[in-house]
């Protein structure tokens, strides 16, 4: 006896077993795993049997709650920092090209550099040098007969620097979100300098914001304990002067204030060109931040965090507290070794985001490793958490420019669960009504179509779980839409079969002809939907991509269940009976 349905049946069983295997971790996650296991992906993976895997489907921000942010990248700061680096590079290049300049300095917070030539006749030589070797800069202003020039970064180059700063910020923030343990974060560019960030399931939004938004620009400056620049300047109200013994026993002046800005405002325009003021935090006996103090340092950083390769949390038995250790790459190690070797006996300021974390005295030459001591008299757990967060952002890389919060919303879990409940109710009600309508209109053939619809739903959910997709409200809408399309495909087939029976064909011939004639009509409608879904996925983001993903997967499942599974059932029925009539 011929069994044309056998191969299709075996394929269906294999797909069903694969779906069960793909769905098992999701079942464990939502029904068996403890809250602690759900929060820690490593714990969850260890709770799943060895024969399974730990890919699971998660709920999006609109379903389980979390954090919604729009952060702005201060792109002008990236341009200004690049101009400052160009100014440093010009000092060395001028020596190579024998261009004599009495001063080369970056104009603060601008894309401009001021160059004072020793001889005005060197302007032609400078112009030729810029055209051939430094084409990103151009002369925009000539003063003092061409002896004092203002250079600026070209507009096109500024645009590129700004775009790169946003792209790097997106990459860095994504790395930090992944290391923080957020499942399926949405991080996308919005406009020219904004970044949309959605972190579903975040339990501590404040900590997440601090990690995501920390610039993490690390640099090391030599403290000037012999400088007197802070001794005679006039201080505004709220800023006080004090003295301490610096490295080498020198009497050093420093400033105190309630905020960092007050100290910076007090010294603005009053320091030598090669010196700068960095601030450090001060804590009271209770471990609370009580204010800030100044350090006079060499303006040019000895080495920056760009050379870091790793960072981690260590514990000091002597101090009884955790600290962050870091490692430089070979080039950074060479620079750090020379910096510390040339400044033994001086203080080295470890500066993170313009705040000095520590300023130890250099006792000996240091090569590829260093440490950052966590400040304050906090509890051991607080210090450890702070050290972990700092190590995380250092390993993830620094942001090319600071970021600011422009929009912030915290989506509550109650809203999420309510959305899930209503979405489930809508889907179930729609599915039940479709099932009843199909049975009422097409009788047994409608029941066969409903049977295939169940497999359609299972295959969609299993595929999403296998891809570790995030299910959102638009995604649920996509599932409902594809289930409706699956029913529509069955309606086309059943109407074709009815038409063939009315034309006098036998039931078997009508079924064969009905499927053959309906096949390309169904494929055509499904292909157009796939094209639309691919375009949405390619150019959309967040929930739009979720809708596109479920639509594409659902269309593939719909085509298989509508055409293959239902026909397999008719073939099985034909092999068991003469099939002279059909309930349609």
pLDDT score for 1: 44
User: What CATH fold (topology level) applies to the domain 216-398?
Assistant: Gyrase A; domain 2 (3.30.1360)
Assign 77 to helix, strand or coil.
helix
CA 414 – CA 200 distance, rounded (Å)? 13
Q: What is the mean pLDDT of residues 85-112?
A: 86
pLDDT higher than threshold 50 for residue 67:
yes
Is the model more confident about 272 or about 1? 272
Least trusted range by pLDDT, from 5-19, 48-62, 433-447: 48-62
d(CA 508, CA 351): 82
Closest CA to 227 of 282, 297, 136, 162: 297
- Window from 177-191, 316-330, 470-484, 545-559 with minimum mean pLDDT: 177-191
Q: Determine the Cα–Cα distance for residues 251 and 555; give it in Å rounded to an integer.
A: 77
Q: Each residue of 380-428: pLDDT tens digit?
A: 777 777 777 777 666 666 677 888 888 888 776 555 566 667 777 877 8
- The answer to whether 303 and 333 have CB atoms below 8 angstroms apart is no
CATH 3.20.20.60 fits 413-576, yes or no: no
Average pLDDT over residues 222-242: 92
The contacts of residue 436 (CB under 8 Å, 6+ apart) are: none
State the average pLDDT for the chain.
Answer: 83
The candidate with the shortest Cα–Cα distance to 326, out of 369, 266, 389, is: 369
Instruction: Please state which of the ranges 158-167, 408-417, 491-500, 550-559 shows the lowest mean pLDDT.
Output: 408-417
Whether residue 111 contacts residue 87, with contact meaning beta carbons closer than 8 Å, is answered with no
Every domain range in the chain assigned CATH 1.20.1640.10: 413-576
Tokens in use for 136? 């990103």
- 217 with 77: CB under 8 angstroms? no
Yes or no: domain 75-158 corresponds to CATH 3.30.2010: no
């Amino acid at each position: 006896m011929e069994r044309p349905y056998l191969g299709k049946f075996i394929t269906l069983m294999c797909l069903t077993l694969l779906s069960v295997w793909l769905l098992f971790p999701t079942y464990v996650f939502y029904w068996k795993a403890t809250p602690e296991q759900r929060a820690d992906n490593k714990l969850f993976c260890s709770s799943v049997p060895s024969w399974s895997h730990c890919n699971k489907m998660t709920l999006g921000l609109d379903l389980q709650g979390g954090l919604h942010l729009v952060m702005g990248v201060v792109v002008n700061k990236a341009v200004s920092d690049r101009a400052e680096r160009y100014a440093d590079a010009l000092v060395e290049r001028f020596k190579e090209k024998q261009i004599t300049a009495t001063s080369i300095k970056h104009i603060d917070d601008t894309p401009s550099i001021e160059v004072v030539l020793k001889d005005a006749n060197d302007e032609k030589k400078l112009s030729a040098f810029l055209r051939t070797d430094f084409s990103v800069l151009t002369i925009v202003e000539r003063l003092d007969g061409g002896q004092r020039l203002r250079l600026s970064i070209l507009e096109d180059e500024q645009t590129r620097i700004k775009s790169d700063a946003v792209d790097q910020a997106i990459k860095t923030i994504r790395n930090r979100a992944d290391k923080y343990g957020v499942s399926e974060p949405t991080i996308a560019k919005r406009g020219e300098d904004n970044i949309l960030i959605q972190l579903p399931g975040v339990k501590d939004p404040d900590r997440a914001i601090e990690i995501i938004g920390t610039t993490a620009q690390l640099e090391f400056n030599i403290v000037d304990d012999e400088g007197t620049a802070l001794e005679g300047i006039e201080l505004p109200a709220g800023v006080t002067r004090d003295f301490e013994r610096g490295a080498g026993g020198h009497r050093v002046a420093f400033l105190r204030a309630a905020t960092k800005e007050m100290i910076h405002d007090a010294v603005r325009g009053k320091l030598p060109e090669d010196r700068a003021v960095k601030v450090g935090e001060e804590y009271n006996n209770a471990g609370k931040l009580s204010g800030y103090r100044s350090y006079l340092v060499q303006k040019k950083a000895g080495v920056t965090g760009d050379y870091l390769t790793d960072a981690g949390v260590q514990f000091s038995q002597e101090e009884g507290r955790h600290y962050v250790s870091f490692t430089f790459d070979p080039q950074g190690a060479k620079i750090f070794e020379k910096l510390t070797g040339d400044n033994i006996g001086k203080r080295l300021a470890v500066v993170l985001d313009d705040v000095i974390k520590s300023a130890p005295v250099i006792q000996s030459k240091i090569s590829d490793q260093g440490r950052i001591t966590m400040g304050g008299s906090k509890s051991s757990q607080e210090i450890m958490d702070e050290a972990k967060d700092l190590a995380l952002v250092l390993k993830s890389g620094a942001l090319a420019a600071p970021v600011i919060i422009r929009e912030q919303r915290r989506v509550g879990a109650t809203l999420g669960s309510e959305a899930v409940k209503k979405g489930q109710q809508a889907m179930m009600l729609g599915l039940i009504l479709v099932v009843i309508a199909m049975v009422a209109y097409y009788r047994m053939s409608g029941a066969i179509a409903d049977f295939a619809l169940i497999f359609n739903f299972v295959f969609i959910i299993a595929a999403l779980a296998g891809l570790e997709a995030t299910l959102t409200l638009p995604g649920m809408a996509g599932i409902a839409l594809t289930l409706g399309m699956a029913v529509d495909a069955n309606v086309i087939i059943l109407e074709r079969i009815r038409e063939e029976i009315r034309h006098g064909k036998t039931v078997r011939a009508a079924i064969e002809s009905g499927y053959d004639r309906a096949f390309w009509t169904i494929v055509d409608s499904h292909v157009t939907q796939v094209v639309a879904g691919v375009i949405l996925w390619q150019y959309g983001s967040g929930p739009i991509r979720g809708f596109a993903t479920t639509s594409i997967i659902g269309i593939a499942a719909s085509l298989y269940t509508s055409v293959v599974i239902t026909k397999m059932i008719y073939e099985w029925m034909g092999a068991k009976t003469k099939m002279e009539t059909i309930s349609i």
